[in-house]
């Protein structure tokens, strides 16, 4: 996943508006109860912005790591054994995949992977589908599934 | 008979295409996903361009407001092995009016040296693809063609072998539909050629 323009706008909105809610009532001398309620809302919004920012950074870091595996990793294949979804994130299915990972020099083994995929990609994940995979040469459990 | 149906009737007669009551393509590409599985109606099946078979039809759906696209769908299965996803979308195109999600699946923006192409389209591919193959696909000749020849509102989406060409005209004439068919056929032929290289 990656942050898009809407995401940047959401982080900016919740961060700035939350800060304003928390600080402005105090600065203008609003009654204590009102200032407290607005400050609570403000803090929650700032936390939301912080959470979104953390998630975006986490995804960015993961992407950098995956790029490294793609460049330096061992190329193999992953055959879909089963695929299903019981949840959605932003209208995209969270796919639970059971895969047979086949990497030259490492043999084959069964692995599980969860991926958020657009509907048009998720609908292609059927048993027997063979996808490219790149495996971290230092950690066979760390791999990138190309879909 | 509406103007759209007349245009499709005219196209069917001119190109000997089979008229279908409707056609359900499935959610094969991002635009078809936005359409929430709506069928294409009207729809025609047959030869889109030289050696390229497919379906042309109208996709209409509502996402706060109603969107209408004329689309052509054909298959290039061999492309999946080289680039599962290649999207070449007209800059500024809107396909929904109700999206407020801050995160999307990761994609890579394809950089080309053509200013005309970059100004006209946003090109994105799935990550971890062979950059050499993509560079060869977007050869100077193909880049020049994309920048100058297709209809002004043309876009295409290649997803797991399904190629969807589209224009934004809600009230197209038969000549607009013919141009869409030709443009999609040209893209399909180009992708096929590069797969065979």
Report the distance separating Cα A28 and Cα A135, nearest Å: 58
Average pLDDT of the segment spanning B17-45: 93
| Count of structural domains, chain B | 1
- Residues in chain B whose Cβ is within 8 Å of chain A: 26-30, 32-33, 84-85, 99-107, 126-129, 159-160
Q: Quick: pLDDT tens for A70-124.
A: 989 999 999 999 999 999 888 889 999 999 999 998 889 999 999 999 999 999 8
Question: What's phi and psi for A101, nearest 5 deg?
Answer: -95, 125
Prediction ipTM score: 0.79
pTM above 0.90, yes or no: no
Looking at every residue in chain A, the average pLDDT score rounds to 91
Q: Do A6 and B102 touch (CB under 8 A)?
A: yes
Cβ-nearest to B159 among A70, A120, A146: A120
10 Å CB burial of residue A100 (0-12, 13-18, 19+) is: middle
CA torsion angle for B128, B132, B135, B141 (degrees, to 10)?
Answer: -150
DSSP letter string, A72-131: HSEEEEEEEEEEEEEEEETTEEEEEEEEEEEETTTEEEEEEEEEE--HHHHTT--TT-EE
Q: Do B128 and A144 touch (CB under 8 A)?
A: yes
Q: Which residues contact B84 (CB under 8 A, 6 or more apart)?
A: A121, A146, A147, B126, B129, B159, B160
In this predicted structure, the answer to whether residue B165 has a pLDDT above a threshold of 80 is yes
Residue whose pair of structure tokens reads 């809407």 in the numeric block: A6
Mutation test of the interface with chain B: which of A120, A134, A135, A143, choosing the one with the most B Cβ atoms within 10 A?
A: A120
Handedness of CA A13, A15, A16, A17 (dihedral sign): positive
Average pLDDT of the segment spanning A26-35: 87
Report the SS3 class of residue B98.
Answer: coil
Percent over 90 (pLDDT), chain B: 66
Report the half-sphere exposure of B162 (CA within 13 A, side-chain side). Answer: 21
Q: Do A11 and B102 touch (CB under 8 A)?
A: yes
Q: Quick: pLDDT tens for B102-121.
A: 777 777 776 667 788 888 99
Cβ-nearest to B101 among A66, A90, A121: A90
Scored b (16 or more CB within 10 A) or e, A70-84 reads beebbebbbbbeebe
For chain B, say whether A59 makes contact (Cβ under 8 Å).
yes
pLDDT for A43 equals 94
Structural domain of residue B123, as residue ranges? 3-196
In this predicted structure, the answer to whether residue B8 has a pLDDT above a threshold of 80 is yes
Report the half-sphere exposure of A2 (CA within 13 A, side-chain side). Answer: 12
CA nearest to A63 within chain B: B106
Q: A92 vs chain B: nearest CA distance in angstroms?
A: 9
pLDDT for B15 equals 94
In this predicted structure, the answer to whether residue B123 has a pLDDT above a threshold of 70 is yes
Report the SS3 class of residue A48.
Answer: helix
């Amino acid at each position: 996943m990656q942050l898009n323009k809407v995401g940047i706008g959401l982080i900016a909105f919740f961060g700035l508006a939350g800060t304003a809610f928390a600080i402005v009532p105090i600065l203008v001398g609003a009654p204590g109860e009102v200032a407290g309620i607005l400050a609570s809302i403000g803090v929650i919004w700032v936390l939301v912005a912080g959470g979104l920012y953390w998630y975006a950074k986490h995804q960015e870091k993961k992407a950098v790591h995956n790029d490294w595996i793609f460049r330096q990793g061992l190329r193999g294949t992953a055959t879909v054994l089963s695929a299903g979804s019981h949840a959605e994130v932003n209208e995209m299915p969270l796919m639970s995949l059971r895969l047979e990972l086949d990497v030259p020099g490492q043999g084959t083994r069964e692995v599980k992977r969860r991926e958020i995929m657009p509907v048009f990609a998720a609908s292609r994940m059927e048993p027997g589908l063979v996808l490219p995979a790149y495996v971290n040469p230092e950690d066979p459990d760390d791999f990138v599934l190309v879909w | 008979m509406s103007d759209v149906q007349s245009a499709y009737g005219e196209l069917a007669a001119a190109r000997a295409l089979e008229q279908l009551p409707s056609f359900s393509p499935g959610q094969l590409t991002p635009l078809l996903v936005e359409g929430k599985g709506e069928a294409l109606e009207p729809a025609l099946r047959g030869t889109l361009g030289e050696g390229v078979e497919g379906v042309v039809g109208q996709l209409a759906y509502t996402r706060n407001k109603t969107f209408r696209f004329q689309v052509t769908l054909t298959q290039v299965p061999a492309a999946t092995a080289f680039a599962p996803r290649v999207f070449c979308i007209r800059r500024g195109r809107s396909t929904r009016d109700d999206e407020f999600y801050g995160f999307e699946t990761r994609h890579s923006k394809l950089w080309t040296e053509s200013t005309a192409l970059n100004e006209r389209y946003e090109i994105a591919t799935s990550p971890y693809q062979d950059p050499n193959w993509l560079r060869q696909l977007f050869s100077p000749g193909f880049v020049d063609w994309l920048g100058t020849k297709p209809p002004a509102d043309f876009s295409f989406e290649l997803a797991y072998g399904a190629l969807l060409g589209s224009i934004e005209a809600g009230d197209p004439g038969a000549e607009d539909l013919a141009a869409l068919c030709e443009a999609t056929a040209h893209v399909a032929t180009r992708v096929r050629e590069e797969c065979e290289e």
